[in-house]
Amino acid sequence: MLLKFKDKFHKKTNDKLIVITNSCLVPYVWPQVYNEFFICHLATNTKYKILRHINHFYEFLDTKLHIFPDKIFDESNLDNTKNYFFSYYCHLCNDLEPINNEIWADVVVFYEKIQEFKLNTSNNINFELKESIKDLSEKLSQFKFRKSKKILKIKVVFQKVC
C-alpha cells in the first residue's frame, strides 16, 4: 500500500513524503532507506514510479508468499531470497504486462543497493556474504522478459473468377 504524506520538513517546497506500508499502516524500513539515500535526487514522479514497483514486489511477498518483505535482506536467508525472487519473476511472467522489464529492473536494483548499503555500514565485512550477494544480483539481472509478439492479421482478398 502506498501512502502519501506531506513532509513536515519541507513545508515551503510542496514535496511529498512517500511511504510504503503494510495493511496495518506500519511502514517498511528498506524502501524508506532506499528513498532517502539512493533516489532522493530524482524527480517526484520518477521516485513514485520506482516505489510503486517496489510496493508491487512487497505486496507479492506479503500476500502471496506470506512473509515479512523486509526479511529478504537478512543475511542468513540467501537461499530463500533466491526462491522469493524466482517466484516473483514467475509471477511477472504470468502477468504478461509490457512494463514487467522495468518493474523487474527496479526491484533488482533496489535489492542490490540495500545490500550494498548494509554491507558498507556494518563493522564486520563478510567477504563470502558479499560475493554471494554479488552472485545473486548478477543472476537476477540476467532474467529478461520477452517482448510480446504482435499477431499479424491475415488479409484475404477474394476475386471474382469468370
Contact (CB, 8 A) for 28 and 20: yes
Structural domain contains residue 9: no
Structural domain contains residue 131: yes
pLDDT of residue 110: 92
Pairing of strands 2-6, 16-20: antiparallel
| Domain span at 60 | 29-142
Query: Please, is 57 exposed, middle or buried when counting C-beta atoms within 10 Å of its C-beta (0-12, 13-18, 19+)?
Result: buried
Place of cell 556494518: 122
Could you give the C-alpha distances from 16 to 12, 21, 71, 107, 119, in angstroms and in order?
Answer: 11, 15, 27, 22, 29
Structural domain contains residue 43: yes
Structural domain contains residue 39: yes
Is the pLDDT higher at 159 or at 77? 77
Separation between Cα atoms, residue 48 and residue 53, nearest integer Å: 9
Name the range with the highest mean pLDDT among 24-28, 62-66, 98-102: 62-66
Is the pLDDT higher at 12 or at 36? 36
Structural domain contains residue 76: yes
pLDDT of residue 5: 42
pLDDT of residue 53: 92
Separation between Cα atoms, residue 121 and residue 37, nearest integer Å: 13
Structural domain contains residue 73: yes
Percent of the chain with pLDDT over 90: 10
Place of cell 537461499: 79
Question: Which residues lie below 8 Å from residue 153, measured CB to CB, with a gap of 6+?
Answer: none
Mean pLDDT, the chain, whole residue set: 75
Contact (CB, 8 A) for 16 and 44: yes
Count of CB atoms situated within 10 Å of the CB of 17: 15
pLDDT beyond 50 at 140: yes
pLDDT of residue 9: 38
Per-residue pLDDT averaged across 44-63, rounded? Answer: 90
Separation between Cα atoms, residue 41 and residue 46, nearest integer Å: 10
Each residue's pLDDT tens digit, 83-138: 888 888 888 888 766 667 788 889 988 988 888 888 777 766 666 666 776 677 67
Structural domain contains residue 161: no
pLDDT of residue 10: 39
The structural domain count of the chain equals 1
Structural domain contains residue 44: yes
Is the pLDDT higher at 27 or at 66? 66
pLDDT of residue 50: 92
